[in-house]
Chains A and B, each alone.
Chain A
Amino acid sequence: MNRRAEECDLEIMLSSGASPSVEARDLVVRLGSFTLGPLSLSIPPSEIVCFLGPNGAGKTTLLRALTGLTPRVDGTISVLDCDPATRSKSMLRYIGIIADDPSDLIEELTARELWQLHAIIYSRIEGSCDEMLDRADQLAEAFHFVPPDAPIATYSYGMKKKTQIIAALLQTPTLIVADEPRNGLDPFGIKTLESLLSDEAERGATVIVASHDIYWAERLSDRVGVLIRGKLLAYDPPQAICLHSESLAQAFFRLTESP
């Protein structure tokens, strides 16, 4: 482990609840011809933040930048008081990432084997492997998901998504980053996911979600960010965003349709 990562270890241990979980200043990310930012934002602990925006607005790019999976060209990011690009093991232990495409999972493993893999890796830093596997079972029960004893490649899209969500949450993370987590879930799964994310925020975790469901975002989140063509046009509580509109949906369309 390099020196920077060791510093991160220490900072995670020492980080108090008062400092923001995520802080970005003048962040600029470039992917080919697309540029995200410059944008600045701060997300305190226990908050649920939802990013809305049309396709190609930069939601996934922002989430990847926050988890150190897309290089930034300018600005700074601090996630749990660490530079996400270092992707130190100690930082990853406290982040639960639900990527947009569940087919990127290790499809040769069964769901239980994948959860076991996560539990073994995370328990090396903190926690008990068996406890994490018990939690995975509880989460599966909450989703009414009985994982087949077969490789993930043979699962339906929704089953893969549930496998992915459980893998991301079994270590009780401090920060949850979820890109389109509702995709492929049945109505019962969506309801379970909503209550799970709320419970996690109540426990003290920070939840960052990218979604296309405005109504879900309005109901679930403490703060909403609206991204259009790589710019963060609004970043406020839902009530503040729809101050001059009847609903968040109306405010969203007004923002996106304005030149």
Chain B
Amino acid sequence: MPHSSSRLLLIFKLSRYVINSWARKSGFTFRQAVIGYLFASVFLFSAAFVAVLIFLPVSDDNFFFSPLFATPLLLTLFLGGSFFGLLTLSLVRSVSRSFVSLTHLPIETRLLTFSLSLPIIVLSLTPMVCLSPIFVRVISVSFGRSIFFSLLLISLVWLTALACGHSLFLVFSLLERPSHPTFLVPFLSIASWLMLASASIWSFHRIAREHLDSDVLHRFYFLLWPAFISAASSESVVTPLVALAALLGLCVFDWFLFGSPALLLSYKSPVTHIRVPFSLRGRLLPFRLETIRLLRNDSILSWLASAVLISSALLVLMAQSNHATRSEIAPSIAFFIPQMVAYPALFARGLSQRERPYPLLVGFSPFQWSYSLLAAAFTISLLCGIPFLAGSAVLSGQLLLLPLGVIVIVWVTSIAGIIGFVLMPNQKNAGGELVGFVLTLLVTTTGGMLVSYLTGSQNDLLIVASLGGIGLAISWIPGYIETRRWNVTTGISVSSRFYNR
């Protein structure tokens, strides 16, 4: 049994090994990755701080400092945190294969699993920590509590949420059998998460209905559950001491979940056995090839299955709402569905080798291949998203939402494609997956806000059309990145110089 200080050193060294491996798979050095991470964290924290100072001034009539806003904010944190819990544990499982050789060393399996998951824990907690000034400020002023208590409350909500997500994923991992397809665990976990989310929202819904008028509801439409707000939590019975104890308990519980040996043992190949009835013969060979590859990858299938499940739930939610609420939430849903279904573009490049992708070895040009890859990802996203976009358009009576949603898919695909070509996330590069996921979400959302601000327009059509135009205009970038990378591999720029000697 190693000494406690040597255990800490071992955890540190193994975690460093994981980060190094991710950095190299994304084409960066360890130092560049760490500096990039620190820079991004400081930037995000500063932005949150500035947002608090500039955009959230305290005043009696400020809507952002009312329990009506703070309560659904906590609910959102909980639902987002539990979803993030599923995602991070799924990433730990996917990364375990890369380090399976380490299990032959005389290291406790729990210690090893924890060391491998530590970078994922840190990465997944970073956005939450960086954005904490906003959450703390809103909760503190809204409920008239101290900053310390607000911080405790937020940490409690977030850690409980993570623990819920982790527990769901772990339970299904333990129940898994070798004959089950790989995407079953994430799919079942998401389905359970949806049930958890429905139960949470329903409990708020009952209280909120009695307290809210329709005017306030309008201001909540971007949170997707405008009718589920409660003012009830202002009478909190949680004392700081109890909160602190609960927080420590949750930390220990999460440590156990993250360090579960079941994660190391439950890895399976991400290539699915599901047969796609699609032939290579015919026109557009590289497009056909990449479509088949994407549809046979379990990571992408599980992502799409989850997107379909959540989109279905949103449509059910819409169908259950009254007409006025449907009209209010429909634009948000039309923006949210493309955000989910367009992620195959992020993972597509990671399916091939970094320097010598097989399609280029057999003679496709980097540009041709990159465009085919993006087109394949876009087509799959489109086929996945259109039924739900159409459903939301019909339910809300706003048929324009369908083409607008398609344009948003173009926008998200382009951004996800560029990030995917740079980071190349795959099952051995879980850091790339997590960073890519967060980055795509951040860039697409802030891009939308920026365009809205720059055009000074409230017209959704103009904003979305601008985003689509930008998406199309930047779609050449993945091809350019790939061409540069391939030229470095083959030395094409130096060879022409020497050949003509």
Contacts and interface: CB of A to CB of B under 8 A. Distances in A.
B223 to A, nearest CB: 39
A57 to B, nearest CB: 21
A84 B491 CA distance: 10
Contacts of A84: 495
Contacts of B281: 116, 120
A9 interface: no
A72 B271 contact: no
Given A108-B351, A154-B269, A154-B273, A4 B496 contact: yes
A151 B271 contact: yes
Given A106-B293, A108-B292, A120 B285 contact: yes
Interface stretch (B130-138, B228-236, B239-247, B357-365): B357-365
A105 interface: yes
A70 B491 contact: yes
Contacts, number: 96
A117 B362 contact: yes
A151 B361 CA distance: 20
B363 A121 contact: yes
A92 B499 CA distance: 18
B494 A92 contact: no
B490 interface: yes
Nearest to A88: B363
Interface residues of A, number: 36
Nearest to A72: B491
A185 interface: no
Contact of A83 (B272, B280, B496): B496
A85 B499 contact: yes
A76 B498 contact: yes
Given A69-B490, A117-B289, A154-B271, A104 B501 contact: no
B150 interface: no
Given A71-B489, A104-B358, A108-B292, A153 B495 contact: no
Interface in A1-40: 4
Interface string B457-501: 000000000000000000000000000000011111011101101
B490 A85 contact: yes
Given A85-B490, A106-B358, A120 B280 contact: yes
B297 interface: yes
Contact of B495 (A85, A113, A116, A120): A85
B353 interface: yes
Contacts of B353: 104
B362 A118 contact: yes
Contact of A113 (B280, B356, B362, B491): B280
Interface in A70-98: 70-76, 83-87, 89, 92-93, 97
Contacts of B492: 71, 85-87
B490 A108 contact: no
B362 A92 contact: yes
Interface string B240-258: 0000000000000000000
Given A104-B356, A106-B293, A97 B361 contact: yes
B342 to A, nearest CB: 21
B205 interface: no
Contact of A107 (B271, B273, B289, B494): B271
A76 B499 contact: yes
Interface string A143-175: 000000011011000000000000000000000
A113 B295 CA distance: 15
Interface of B: 269-273, 280-281, 285, 289, 292-293, 296-297, 351-353, 356, 358-359, 361-363, 488-492, 494-496, 498-499, 501
15 contacts: A68-B490, A70-B489, A70-B490, A72-B495, A72-B498, A76-B498, A83-B495, A86-B492, A87-B490, A107-B271, A113-B280, A120-B285, A153-B271, A154-B269, A154-B273
Interface of A: 4, 68-76, 83-87, 89, 92-93, 97, 99, 104-109, 113, 116-118, 120-121, 150-151, 153-154
